[in-house]
Amino acid sequence: MDLPLSAMLIIIGILLVILARRGFRVTKLGVGLDIELDKPLSFESQSSRWVMGTLGVVIFAVGVFGITGLYDRLGQSVQPATTETPTEVSVVPTATIAEASPSPTEEPGPIVGNGRIAFQSDRDGDSEIYVMDANGGNVTQLTNDPGVDASPVWSPDGTRLLFHSDRDGDYDVYVMDDDGSNLALLTDHPQHDVFPTWSPDGQRIAFCSDRDGDFDVYLMNADGSDVTALTDNQAIDDFVAWSPDGRTIAFQSDLEGDYNIYLIGIDGSNMQRLTTDSTAHDLLGNWSPDGSRIAYSSHPTGDYEILVIEVASRNVTRLTENPESDWSPAWSLDGQFLAFASDRSGSYEIYLMDADGGSVTQLTDAIGGDGRPSWGP
């Protein structure tokens, strides 16, 4: 449901509730026509006012659901959420746009891990892309746009970042240099293209799109050309991760009811379900650097926790146990650490822990919410 329709439903719902509380009688129809009714329509009885009030509440709720569903779904909220709906494959690569100059913030934290972490944050009022050192220092804002910029992913060589954005009205895939410059549009479609990720050699990109009705996994060249569908399921297939050996793509899907993690070959063959808990709602994180494990988040006990599954044996290890939600894990390049998002401090921040779940360290502490970390060189 789009924003104008949702807003209109909210207004209509409020008006109906107000009228139901007061009661009223209609004696004329038409705006400027003044057509007299033979018998006035009365909405003054308790039963008619109750019906009108109930209808108003229902319409108001539908409007509110439309607004929250639209924005929480594709990245404005950094809380764990799965995608909703974004027909014909038509790609217009490029379109360079100037960005604001980066502005470093925040003091460095403890020395943990190497490389840099990209993440999304709404600390300035809307979702933007930021980069920081692995110890939480040198936080730099890379994008500055009124739209939603979300789900950043480093290129294998650490020089560029993929992300999705609705800055042009619908969600598309963009790429930029690691300092926020040379922004380029890779997909240009009236439906939603979201959650991009790189192949290990940086030559191809996997992403999710509802251009054919429901969300499926797509592949394209790194310049946005040659878009092809990898999955074609009557389900929501979203949030993809490319295996380090380049042969397999992991994705989450509600194909069999609740969300589980699936694997599929890059030629579309050998699709298999990886996680097996039918009630836990498993959300994909990423592959370990050696390709033997996948970190993910799940809510087996009501809140999201970080788990790791061995791809070969399917053995699962739970790494966090916290009354709040921990989600969106990302491996360090050496496989020694995991960055993740958590609201254990009251708002969503980026945390770091050892790969076995020990030594948890908070990296960010900002007003708003931080999420979707991606670890790069």
Q: Degrees (nearest 5) of the Cα angle 225, 227, 228?
A: 150
Higher pLDDT, 101 or 194: 194
List, as one string, the DSSP characters of 195-241: EEEE-TTSSEEEEEE-TTSS-EEEEEETTS-S-EES---SS-EEEEE
In this structure, the answer to whether residues 180 and 296 fall within a common structural domain is yes
User: What b-and-e string marks burial along 98-116, b requiring 16 or more CB atoms within 10 Å of the CB?
Assistant: ebeebeeebeebeebbeeb
Per-residue pLDDT tens digits for 21-67:
665 554 443 434 344 434 444 556 666 666 666 776 666 665 655 55
CA distance 199 to 249: 9
Mean pLDDT value across residues 166-193: 96
| Whole-number pLDDT of residue 283 | 95
In this structure, the answer to whether residues 38 and 169 fall within a common structural domain is no
Of the ranges 18-22, 83-87, 312-316, 373-377, which one carries the lowest mean pLDDT score? 83-87
In this structure, the answer to whether residues 216 and 328 fall within a common structural domain is yes
Q: Which long-range contacts (CB under 8 A, 24 or more apart) does 358-364 make?
A: 359/112, 360/320, 361/109, 361/110, 361/112, 361/136, 362/109, 362/136, 363/109, 363/117, 363/132, 363/135, 363/136, 363/339, 364/106, 364/119, 364/121, 364/132, 364/136, 364/139
How many C-beta atoms surround the C-beta of residue 171 within 10 A?
A: 30
In this structure, the answer to whether residues 218 and 336 fall within a common structural domain is yes
Give the percent of the chain with pLDDT over 70.
71
Is residue 169 situated within a structural domain? yes
| Whole-number pLDDT of residue 203 | 98
Is residue 241 situated within a structural domain? yes
- Cα 15 to chain centroid, rounded: 34
Of the ranges 24-38, 56-70, 83-97, 318-332, which one carries the lowest mean pLDDT score? 83-97
Residue 69 has pLDDT above 90, yes or no: no
For residue 366, give the DSSP letter: -
In this structure, the answer to whether residues 46 and 181 fall within a common structural domain is no
Is residue 78 situated within a structural domain? no
In this structure, the answer to whether residues 113 and 188 fall within a common structural domain is yes
Any idea of the CA torsion for 296, 291, 316, 345, to the nearest 10 degrees?
A: -30
Chain-wide mean pLDDT for the chain? 82
Q: What domain count does the chain have?
A: 2
**What tokens appear for 289 in the block?**
């650097």
**What tokens appear for 159 in the block?**
């020089």
In this structure, the answer to whether residues 49 and 104 fall within a common structural domain is no
- Residue 368 pLDDT class (50, 70, 90 cuts): confident
Residue in 111, 132, 103, 102 with CA at minimum distance from that of residue 120: 132
How many C-beta atoms surround the C-beta of residue 28 within 10 A?
A: 11
Coil, strand or helix at 20: helix
CA distance 364 to 273: 34
Per-residue pLDDT tens digits for 239-282:
999 999 999 999 999 998 889 999 999 999 999 999 987 678 89
Mean pLDDT value across residues 115-120: 97
In this structure, the answer to whether residues 149 and 44 fall within a common structural domain is no
In this structure, the answer to whether residues 103 and 19 fall within a common structural domain is no
The answer to whether the CB of 372 falls within 8 A of the CB of 155 is no
In this structure, the answer to whether residues 131 and 203 fall within a common structural domain is yes
Structural domain including 49 reads 3-73
CA distance 211 to 243: 25
Higher pLDDT, 99 or 206: 206
Partners of 308 in the β-ladder: 295, 317
**What tokens appear for 377 in the block?**
């060189």
Coil, strand or helix at 9: helix
**What tokens appear for 204 in the block?**
């191809």
Residue 288 has pLDDT above 60, yes or no: yes
Is residue 85 situated within a structural domain? no
List, as one string, the DSSP characters of 171-184: -EEEEEETTS-SEE
CA distance 151 to 118: 9
Is residue 307 situated within a structural domain? yes
Rg (CA), the chain: 24
Is residue 32 situated within a structural domain? yes
In this structure, the answer to whether residues 44 and 110 fall within a common structural domain is no
CATH label of the domain that carries residue 260 = 2.120.10.30
Higher pLDDT, 57 or 154: 154
Q: Going edge to edge, which strands form the sheet with 237-242?
A: 237-242, 248-253, 260-265, 272-273
The three state secondary structure string of 273-302 is ECCCCCCCCCEEEEECCCCCEEEEEECCCC
In this structure, the answer to whether residues 63 and 109 fall within a common structural domain is no
Is residue 86 situated within a structural domain? no
Is residue 91 situated within a structural domain? no
